[in-house]
Structure 1
């Protein structure tokens, strides 16, 4: 983050912003206010709320008060941005058939998306996918949103990932849980939907979610 941007925030607000970004990277969802209170060692939720309001006014986050964990990371106005290759669509619902795993290669992208530099940081091999379906809505990922991914062949349990199913030649966006019985549970973030259980040999992790660009209605 540029020094000029950091001057607009207190050390506490900087710590909160870094915590929110790290929490999303680790778990694929934003933290709750109580997560922020605990993680940043803040005295109360009202103090956290006050500082979150400052971050929102400064353009670093957007809050959706009617949504649980409704914090969205943004790039503040005028801050550096990067072009990221948009590699196609990913299903947040039923898997979408795609011709070949090579379709994920950035050099094959037909277009790019403009992404806040703060969302990418120093990461390499970053790409974007457009979401189809509503299976991840409880993680604040909706139909038409764009997920920003970092290429990876493994993720921690509970992280949101782009998953390639080899036998079906299909891709889907789900939280990944490795089970002791050799199965992989692909968990939707939608209480109305059931998880998918796949043999670990049939699952290839293509990348993990590091951010979301919301569709503007």
Structure 2
């Protein structure tokens, strides 16, 4: 959300890769697809900046969890699952 608040639009996959410190835009896209499968975000196909965070209740929590998952922070998977359940996602 910080990127969107600063720039007025979501990052591209390449920009996201640079922000997250991952090797490539494909790596960033893989993480985005995982978040989409879990219901955190919606990706618009064919649009470079087509990332939308679902549910405006706690968008910063979703971003924090994404960062933790990407960086393999211990316990991040469990926190992400708990957050999804709390948000009403069917797992």
Same fold (TM over 0.5): yes
Per the TM alignment, residue 53 of structure 1 is displaced from its structure 2 partner at its CA by: 0.6
Q: TM-score, with normalisation over the residues of structure 1?
A: 0.26
- 1:40 equivalent in structure 2: 20
Cα separation, 2, equivalents of 1:22 and 1:60: 16
Cα separation, 1, equivalents of 2:58 and 2:2: 12
- 1:117 equivalent in structure 2: 57
- 1:113 equivalent in structure 2: none
Cα separation, 2, equivalents of 1:120 and 1:50: 20
Structure 1 unmatched ranges of 5 or more: 1-20, 76-115, 122-217
Q: Which has the higher contact order (CA 8 A, sep 6+)?
A: 2
- 2:3 equivalent in structure 1: 23
Q: Which has the higher strand share?
A: 1
Q: What does 1:155-166 correspond to in 2, within 5 Å?
A: none
- 1:63 equivalent in structure 2: 43
Larger Cα-atom Rg: 1
Count residues in correspondence.
61
Please, which of 52, 55, 66 is the counterpart of residue 72 of structure 1? 52
1:72 alignment partner, SS class: strand
**Are the counterparts in 1 of residues 12 and 49 from structure 2 also a CA contact under 8 Å?**
yes
